[in-house]
Structure 1
Amino acid sequence: MQLSRRAFLAATGAVAAPLLLPGCGFVGGSGGSGSGTGAEGTLTFTTWGTDAELAGFRSAIEAFQQANDGATVELNAVPYEQMFTNIDAQLQAGNPPDIFRVPYYTFGAYAGAGQLLDLSPHLSDGVQDQFTDTAWAAVQNDGSPFGLPHHTDTSAILYNRTLLDAAGITDVPTSVEDAWTWDELGQVADRLKAGLPSGTYPFAYNWQGNGVTRWLSLLFQADGAFLDSDQRTPLIDSDAGRSAVEFSSSFFRNGWVPDTDTTTSSTYAADTWFSGTVAMVWSGAFQVPDADSTADFEWGVTYAPVGVRGGGDFGGNALVATQATGQPELAASFLEFVTAREQMQAFCQAASLLPTRPDLLDGSLSFDVRPETTDVFVGQAGQVQPQDAAQVASPSMSAIIPVLKTQLDAAFLGSQDAATTVTNMAQGIADATGA
């Protein structure tokens, strides 16, 4: 059964049940340190994934096993909603998998708790140079890599061309250099509000649930930060922080978004776009296949707006080995293999995700579905700065997320001004990090 990306976004489960699956059906392959080493042993690898993602992992496993006679990788595919409950229980019981997949905003909690393998002694020379500076920054803890960045994603704006045309918006940015400024986005939103049917809104923002980290895109666009380089000291109580809160709060004051478009809403922003309730939605590239197969209107994609500078969220996932693995060399070898150029390109093109290797950002990447959208998402990802991604890798990120949600919703719903919001955020972040 084909998995809906919208269902996946809502964490309704990527596959039916956990099971051990050997890789199958790959043609060709290239790799990192694991290619042709003759390494032996068995690795267990736990992940969630869409159909395309799981197929990509199986292909990579098959190629790795072919290149390493005597090596076996057992893939344990679980629903996303069970993934980290299972991992946490296994870590506590002392029987975790050798390798698992983890979002960047969760990575720091595991690395900071000493539960991941420091890959420094086990990686091939020059591995760092195979990744973008931004991606490499996202897998660091105390100056060492505790994972490899497998892919990323970042939010651009999907738009309903029919609704924009009806409101007289016929010109959308076609290059990252021409992206709307915050002021221009506001002008577009006002025109849409005036021209759209009753009950239809200019846009929705995808900051629901743990997606509240996507609000940080606006903070970065204001040239702000929420953590210092020590990943502990809060910096959000600043002019940039107040500017980002004020701008995002204006979405609600001006009626640009539905009242329900809060961080704690049970309705995901993408669902309002698919239903025709909003004309535009912030969304990652992973949404493209669903839009192609489901949307009953003509649509396109353009760039997120620019404030003081461009910016975006650093989404996606890393692959990590657990500290408890009995096969550290083999685990590192497999991680290098899966993140090699050929493997990453095939995975990202099939799953509509963005690579973390600069040698795939030269125009050679093309999504299998709606390939014309590839360059927009690649260009948007180029707006993410290394210092932005490094903050999200904080070991305290899981405790910071509830602080952001509580304080932002207070500002969005009108009970708290921007100055109070960032002051409360700073205190909550300090409590979370122990600063």
Structure 2
Amino acid sequence: MDLTRRRFLAAGTAAVAAPLALSACGGFAPAGSQASQAAGTLSFTTWGTDAELAGFRAVIAAFQQANPGTTVNLNAVPYEQMFSNIDAQIQAGNPPDVFRVPYYTFGSYAGAGQLLDLSTLLAQDFSGRFTEQAWAAVQNGGKPYGVPHHTDTSVILYNKTLLDAAGVTSVPNSPEEAWTWDQLLEVAGKLRSSLPGSKFPMAYNWQGNGVTRWLSLLFQADGRFLAEDLKAPAVDSDAGRAAVDFSKRFFADKLVPANDSVKSTTYAADTWYSQTSAMVWGGAFMLPDADKTASFEWGATYAPRKVRGGGDFGGNALVATAKAKDPALAAKFLTFATEAEQQRDFCVAASLLPTRADLVQDGIEFTVRGDLTKVFLGQARQVRASDSGQVASPSMSKIITVLKDQLEQAFVGGQSTEDTIAGLSKGIAGATGA
């Protein structure tokens, strides 16, 4: 039985510092400086769906074939246990050589000195493989502490039957034509009038650690939550107020179910599968599950825009631990995993988005619902390096708690926008030590 992806809905999003190091960092090793023959053993810990684990096994097999005498031992664990295990192993001094980490968690490990600095272990032109957003997502202090393995971003998945019944017979066909916030509210209003009280126009996927997806609205308003130093809070702005006001309307106008709050234990996708909501924000990783689960005709369109387009930079990096037994071999494996062929095959099969600039430019096509690939690729291009950089700051794990607490109060606790902005600012300052 295939492992469902819905359990990961609250797990994925975003990335690292404003234009910190978008080109090759000084001091990178020249291309070809690594040993031509690698021999040794690596341990690699990850979680994953069936498709993702199959993809990692394929990468490992190809790496071992290309490097005779090398062994990579894959340790697959449930997501719920992943980071408690990693943390315990780091504290005990026996961490895996390589592991997989969401971009929003990356910063806490890199900032604590627990990851391997790859500056002298990667080819000089290595950063040129990736989009600026992706390369920004693995920086700490201007140095790379991982490789951007894949990404994902949220678009709007819709139930065509319910939209047609409300008189919404067309959806945007490009990011530039994406609904504005006002247009989205107009569409949601039509759905609200058409649907019974027990059903809702939409659901937002900001549950759990997915609360970072709320930041997409802040970015669309051209705002920030961290200043360029990644310490001072920057959410006290017109953009911050606009994002809070806009998202509060979802609840005040009954556009989303009451249990669609950030601390809800009900995933937004489940309300869409059950046709309780007509639209849902969701990532490409939902496609295989939706293809099997949704009993209605459905499609995808772009996330809305305000001042500009914007979205979450989800997905995961691959990192080596600071105490990796063979740093050069670990770096060689990370390099290999992001070769064009390896990344393309992984993303196509697992319904995830590439981080390599050439694959983004040339395009890929998912095995499941390949017709929707262009929607996700187009949405991913709306993410800026300055957006992804903030989410992978060393303080992000603490900031996530602040976002959960303050947005929950704003959405279902009756907290005013001004009090929410004040709470966010104070909490972010406390998280970063500003």
Q: Same fold (TM over 0.5)?
A: yes
Structure 1: which 5+ residue stretches go unaligned? 12-31
Partner of 1:155: 154
Partner of 2:23: none
Partner of 2:46: 47
Establish whether residue 7 from structure 1 lines up as the match of residue 26 from structure 2: no
Determine which structure has greater relative contact order: mean sequence separation of CA pairs < 8 Å that are 6+ residues apart, divided by chain length: 2
Q: How does 1:276-425 map to 2 (within 5 A)?
A: 276-425=275-424
Deviation at 1:34, TM superposition (A): 11
Structure 1 letter corresponding to 2:345: A
Instruction: Supply the distance in 1 between the matched residues of 2:105 and 2:32 (Cα, whole angstroms).
Output: 27
Alignment deviations for residues 340-378 of structure 1 (CA, whole Å, 9 cap, x no partner): 110000000000000001100124300000000000000
Structure 2: which 5+ residue stretches go unaligned? 12-30
Instruction: Supply the distance in 1 between the matched residues of 2:101 and 2:228 (Cα, whole angstroms).
Output: 22
Contact 1:156/1:304, CA 8 A, preserved across alignment: yes
Contact 1:204/1:282, CA 8 A, preserved across alignment: yes
Contact 2:39/2:68, CA 8 A, preserved across alignment: yes
Partner of 1:76: 75
Instruction: Supply the distance in 2 between the matched residues of 1:255 and 1:198 (Cα, whole angstroms).
Output: 9
Deviation at 1:33, TM superposition (A): 6.3
Structure 1 pair 215–393 and aligned structure 2 pair: CA distance change class (3 A): same
Secondary structure (helix, strand or coil) at the match of 2:101 reads strand
Secondary structure (helix, strand or coil) at the match of 1:304 reads coil
Alignment deviations for residues 228-263 of structure 1 (CA, whole Å, 9 cap, x no partner): 122111101111101100000010111100111100
Alignment deviations for residues 264-317 of structure 1 (CA, whole Å, 9 cap, x no partner): 001000000000000000000000111111100000000000011100001000
Alignment deviations for residues 39-89 of structure 1 (CA, whole Å, 9 cap, x no partner): 111000000000110011010111111111111111000010000010000
Contact 1:96/1:322, CA 8 A, preserved across alignment: yes
Once the two structures are overlaid, the 10-residue window that deviates more, 362-371 or 396-405, is 362-371
Establish whether residue 241 from structure 1 lines up as the match of residue 237 from structure 2: no
Secondary structure (helix, strand or coil) at the match of 1:151 reads strand
* TM-score, normalising length: structure 2: 0.94
Identity, in percent, stands at 66
Secondary structure (helix, strand or coil) at the match of 1:403 reads helix
Contact 1:352/1:369, CA 8 A, preserved across alignment: yes
Instruction: Supply the distance in 1 between the matched residues of 2:217 and 2:365 (Cα, whole angstroms).
Output: 28
Instruction: Supply the distance in 1 between the matched residues of 2:7 and 2:110 (Cα, whole angstroms).
Output: 29
Partner of 2:274: 275
Alignment coverage as a number of residue pairs: 415
Instruction: Supply the distance in 2 between the matched residues of 1:239 and 1:420 (Cα, whole angstroms).
Output: 14
Contact 1:103/1:318, CA 8 A, preserved across alignment: yes
Establish whether residue 254 from structure 1 lines up as the match of residue 235 from structure 2: no
Deviation at 1:424, TM superposition (A): 1.0
Contact 1:154/1:314, CA 8 A, preserved across alignment: yes
Structure 2 letter corresponding to 1:205: Y
Contact 1:33/1:336, CA 8 A, preserved across alignment: no
Q: How does 1:175-194 map to 2 (within 5 A)?
A: 175-194=174-193
Contact 1:37/1:67, CA 8 A, preserved across alignment: no
Partner of 2:224: 225
Instruction: Supply the distance in 1 between the matched residues of 2:417 and 2:8 (Cα, whole angstroms).
Output: 33
Contact 1:261/1:269, CA 8 A, preserved across alignment: yes
Deviation at 1:414, TM superposition (A): 4.9
Alignment deviations for residues 107-148 of structure 1 (CA, whole Å, 9 cap, x no partner): 000000000000001001200000000000010000000000
Structure 1 pair 255–204 and aligned structure 2 pair: CA distance change class (3 A): same
* TM-score, normalising length: structure 1: 0.94
Structure 1 letter corresponding to 2:36: T
Instruction: Supply the distance in 2 between the matched residues of 1:10 and 1:156 (Cα, whole angstroms).
Output: 15
Partner of 2:138: 139
Structure 2 letter corresponding to 1:40: A
Contact 1:148/1:319, CA 8 A, preserved across alignment: yes
Contact 2:157/2:281, CA 8 A, preserved across alignment: yes
Contact 1:33/1:123, CA 8 A, preserved across alignment: no
Secondary structure (helix, strand or coil) at the match of 1:361 reads helix
Instruction: Supply the distance in 2 between the matched residues of 1:177 and 1:229 (Cα, whole angstroms).
Output: 27
Structure 1 letter corresponding to 2:9: L
Contact 1:34/1:64, CA 8 A, preserved across alignment: no
Contact 1:36/1:68, CA 8 A, preserved across alignment: no
Structure 1 pair 141–36 and aligned structure 2 pair: CA distance change class (3 A): closer
Deviation at 1:7, TM superposition (A): 3.1
Establish whether residue 214 from structure 1 lines up as the match of residue 209 from structure 2: no
Q: RMSD of the TM alignment (CA)?
A: 1.4
Instruction: Supply the distance in 1 between the matched residues of 2:215 and 2:253 (Cα, whole angstroms).
Output: 21
Contact 2:10/2:210, CA 8 A, preserved across alignment: no
Structure 1 letter corresponding to 2:284: A
Runs ≥4 in structure 1, deviation > 2 angstroms? 7-11, 32-37
Structure 2 letter corresponding to 1:283: G
Secondary structure (helix, strand or coil) at the match of 1:183 reads helix
Instruction: Supply the distance in 2 between the matched residues of 1:327 and 1:53 (Cα, whole angstroms).
Output: 25
Contact 1:60/1:338, CA 8 A, preserved across alignment: yes
